[in-house]
C-alpha cells in the first residue's frame, strides 16, 4: 500500500516514546501540512486502517508486539509554529511544551510556567488536560482548531471542550492549533516561576530515568502516589521495570524494560490498591495495543 504522505514501514515505537518501549508501527506517517493530514485520514478510512497520533510520546506505553495501522506524527513546520497576538499565543499542536515555555518567556508572557518538566507536545497536553495538581493547560485555552477523522476542520471554544481533571472531550479528533491566553509579566519573574516549578518536579520525581509520566490519575480527594506508597510498592520491580522510589506513581525503565514488564507492575499496583483501599485506580497513560 502507498500512503498519500511521506511514510515509513515498520518503525520502532521505542524510538519515539519517552519510555523508550514499544514494538513496530505498521506505518509511520509524517504529513507536511493540514491538507496532507486530511488526505491521510481519508485514505485510512477507505482502507480501514486505524489511526493513532503521537506527539513527544510522553504518555504512551506501546506493547512489545507492535501496533497495526498508521501512527501519525505532526512534526512538520506546519504543526510546530508559534505566533503572538497581544497577550495571546497561537500554538501548533506539534510544539513541544519546553519550546512553548521558552517562547512565552522571550515574549514576556506568563501563565505556562507550571508546564515546566512535562515532556509532551501541545496537542497531547490539551487533549489530556495536562498540568499539576493545582493547574491545568485547559485553564489557558481560549479556543482550539481541530480536525476529525473524516478530515473536517472546526473551531471550538474552551467552553466546548469539557475540561476536567486530566481529560477533555477531544477524543474523536486531532488538535491542529490552540490559542492560549496569557498574562504580560516581567521576564525575571517568569524565569523565577520556571525555576520554582522545575525544582519542585526534581524534588518529587527525581530525574534521569525513562518513564511515561504519572501512571495513574489521582482519585478524587487523594493521591495515587500516596496510595501506592502505602501499599509498600515503592522500589518493586518486574524485569527491568521498577516503581520509583521517589514518586510511587511513576513506573521507570532502567533502559531494558519491556511493555510486558510495565503491564505486570500496573496490574500489581491496581490489585494492591483495590485490596487495601477499595479504590480502582484509573490509568493516566495510554496503552497502545
Q: How much is the pLDDT for 208?
A: 61
CA angle (21, 24, 30) in 5-degree steps: 100
Give dist(CA 260, CA 268) in Å, integer: 12
Q: How much is the pLDDT for 255?
A: 83
Q: How much is the pLDDT for 203?
A: 77
Q: How much is the pLDDT for 207?
A: 61
> Catalytic residue positions?
166, 214, 284
All residue ranges of the chain with pLDDT < 70 are 1, 205-208
CATH number of 80-189: 3.30.465.10
Beta carbons within 8 Å of 200's beta carbon, 6+ residues apart:
none
Give dist(CA 140, CA 159) in Å, integer: 12
Give dist(CA 207, CA 209) in Å, integer: 6
Give dist(CA 265, CA 268) in Å, integer: 5
Whether the CA torsion 277, 282, 283, 284 is positive or negative: it is negative
CATH number of 207-288: 3.90.78.10
Give dist(CA 158, CA 141) in Å, integer: 6
Are the C-beta atoms of 1 and 47 separated by less than 8 Å? yes
The edge-to-edge listing of strands for the beta sheet with 51-54 is: 7-12, 24-29, 67-73, 51-54
Q: Which CATH class, in words, describes the domain spanning 7-76?
A: alpha beta
Which sequence spans correspond to the domains of the chain? 7-76, 80-189, 207-288
DSSP 151-195: S-EEEEEGGGS--BTTB-S-SSEEEEEEEEE-EE--HHHHHHHHH
Size (the chain), residues = 289
Amino acid at each position: 500500500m502507498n500512503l498519500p504522505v511521506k511514510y515509513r514501514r515498520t518503525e520502532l515505537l521505542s524510538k519515539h516514546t519517552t519510555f523508550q518501549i514499544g514494538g513496530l508501527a505498521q506505518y509511520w506517517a509524517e504529513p507536511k501540512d493540514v491538507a496532507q493530514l486530511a488526505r491521510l485520514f481519508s485514505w485510512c478510512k477507505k482502507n480501514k486502517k486505524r489511526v493513532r497520533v503521537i506527539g513527544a510520546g510522553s504518555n504512551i506505553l506501546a506493547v512489545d508486539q507492535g501496533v497495526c495501522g498508521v501512527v501519525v506524527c505532526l512534526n512538520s513546520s506546519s504543526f510546530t509554529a508559534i505566533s503572538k497576538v497581544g497577550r495571546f499565543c497561537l500554538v501548533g499542536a506539534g510544539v513541544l511544551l519546553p519550546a512553548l515555555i521558552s517562547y512565552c518567556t522571550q515574549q514576556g508572557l506568563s501563565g505556562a510556567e507550571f508546564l515546566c518538566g512535562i515532556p509532551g507536545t501541545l496537542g497531547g497536553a490539551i487533549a489530556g488536560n495536562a498540568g499539576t495538581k493545582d493547574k491545568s493547560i485547559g485553564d489557558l485555552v481560549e479556543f482550539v482548531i481541530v480536525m476529525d477523522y473524516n478530515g473536517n476542520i472546526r473551531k471550538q471554544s474552551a467552553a466546548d471542550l469539557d475540561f476536567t481533571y486530566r481529560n477533555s472531550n477531544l477524543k474523536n479528533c486531532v488538535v491542529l492549533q490552540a490559542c492560549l491566553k496569557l498574562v504580560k509579566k516581567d521576564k525575571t519573574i517568569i524565569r523565577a516561576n520556571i525555576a520554582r516549578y522545575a525544582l519542585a518536579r526534581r524534588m518529587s520525581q527525581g530525574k534521569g530515568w525513562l518513564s511515561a509520566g504519572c501512571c495513574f490519575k489521582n482519585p478524587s480527594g487523594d493521591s495515587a502516589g500516596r496510595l501506592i506508597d502505602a501499599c509498600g510498592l515503592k522500589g518493586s520491580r518486574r524485569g527491568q521495570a521498577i516503581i520509583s522510589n521517589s514518586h510511587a506513581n511513576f513506573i521507570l525503565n532502567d533502559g531494558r524494560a519491556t511493555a510486558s514488564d510495565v503491564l505486570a507492575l500496573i496490574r500489581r499496583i491496581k490489585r494492591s490498591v483495590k485490596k487495601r483501599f477499595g479504590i480502582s485506580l484509573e490509568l493516566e497513560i495510554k496503552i497502545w495495543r
